[in-house]
Amino acid sequence: MPRPEDSLPPDLYYNDTTSAQYTTSSRIQSIQAQMTHRALSLLNLSAPSLILDVGCGSGLSGSILSSVPGSAGGPHTWIGLDISASMLGVALEREAEGDLFLADAGQGVPFRPGTFDAAISISAVQWLCNVESGTESAEGRLNRFFSGLYAALRRGGRAVCQFYPRDDRQKDLICGAAKRAGFGAGLLEDGVGTKQEKKYLVLTVGGGEIMGGDITGVVSGLEGVDVVDGRKGGKEGKRRNGKGVKSSKQWILQKKDRMERKGKVVKATSKYTGRKRKPVF
């Protein structure tokens, strides 16, 4: 079947008709509930928490967040973010308990640093790989999203993003953007090789009980899963530990690299980049 994100941008695809059909489908409701419960089990929250639902749509996941108590009792509180006004309209009609925001996650996460204890995203992140303008790129949209999400979570916070990548390249693109933002990351795959295959990107913000960003053995269900700590070692760690003097060639190259990862256009590097100019008398 054709992928919906290949046909139209999400704010146009999820119009009034599609949003109503999506929300009233018993099959979609069942699948959404299963994935939300799975995401909550991976978050492994020990107390009622403030959760950000990215791509909240009509509030199907939010209704579960409002009804499932934390292990210390009491339901979770949630705030939803979505690009489709029609989806949010359906959520309002259903009297969703969370606060709702109309925003494009590909432009960032518009909340103060450290606002949320946790975050979930169900079947939404792959939409960020679609660009409708020549001035944007999938890399830039993903970088803005994950950087904003990292900042919006408190230290020790966690996020679970369930997504449907088109192929391995898109999967690596999404996971790579999360690691560049600073997350400790693990990819969990349920039902591999079946039509019910689901991918969950489990992310942690450094601090608390999670040492070095390693989420293996901390989040239930990740035993035996390869985990990469995006905050230490590798290219990103070396960049942070090896900042050059301002205006030096190293400093300029690092700045240009950061701008490129944000999807901005920069001048090509040449042998003259960073070269000191002789004073003019």
Helix residue ranges per DSSP H, the chain: 10-13, 16-24, 26-43, 60-67, 85-93, 138-152, 168-180, 234-241, 249-261
pLDDT, position 19: 94
pLDDT, position 160: 97
Task: Check whether 71 has a pLDDT greater than 60.
Answer: no
CA distance 100 to 245: 44
pLDDT, position 259: 73
User: What is the per-residue burial (b if ≥16 Cβ within 10 Å, else e) of 38-50?
Assistant: bbbebbbbeebbe
The secondary element (H helix, E strand) that includes residue 162 is strand 153-163
Whole-number mean pLDDT of the chain? 82
What average pLDDT does the segment 74-86 reach?
92
Contact 245, 274 (CB under 8 A): no
- Dihedral angle computed from the Cα positions of residues 223, 226, 232 and 238, in that order, rounded to the nearest 10 degrees: 170
Residue bearing the bigger pLDDT, 271 or 58? 58
Superfamily for domain range 4-229: Vaccinia Virus protein VP39 (3.40.50.150)
CA distance 92 to 64: 16
Residue bearing the bigger pLDDT, 96 or 281? 96
Q: Residue 216 pairs with which residues in a beta bridge?
A: 219
Q: Please write the tens of the pLDDT for every residue from 84-141.
A: 999 999 999 999 999 999 999 999 999 999 999 999 999 999 999 988 777 789 999 9
Contact 120, 59 (CB under 8 A): no
Strand 184-190, strand 198-204: pairing: antiparallel
Residue bearing the bigger pLDDT, 229 or 28? 28
Q: Where in the chain is the domain with CATH 3.40.50.150?
A: 4-229
Residue bearing the bigger pLDDT, 248 or 214? 248
Report the chain's terminal Cα–Cα distance, integer Å.
69
CA distance 204 to 45: 12
Q: Please write the tens of the pLDDT for every residue from 255-264.
A: 877 776 666 7
pTM of the model: 0.74
| Both tokens assigned to 79 | 């705030």
Q: Please write the tens of the pLDDT for every residue from 140-197.
A: 999 999 999 999 999 999 999 999 999 999 999 999 999 999 999 999 989 888 888 8
CA distance 35 to 69: 17
Question: In which band, very low, low, confident or very high, does the pLDDT at 8 lie, cut at 50, 70 and 90?
Answer: confident
Share of the chain above pLDDT 90, in %: 57
Task: Check whether 238 has a pLDDT greater than 90.
Answer: no
Task: Check whether 240 has a pLDDT greater than 80.
Answer: no
Rama region for 233: left / alpha / beta (φ>0; ψ in -120 to 50; rest): left
CA distance 95 to 30: 20
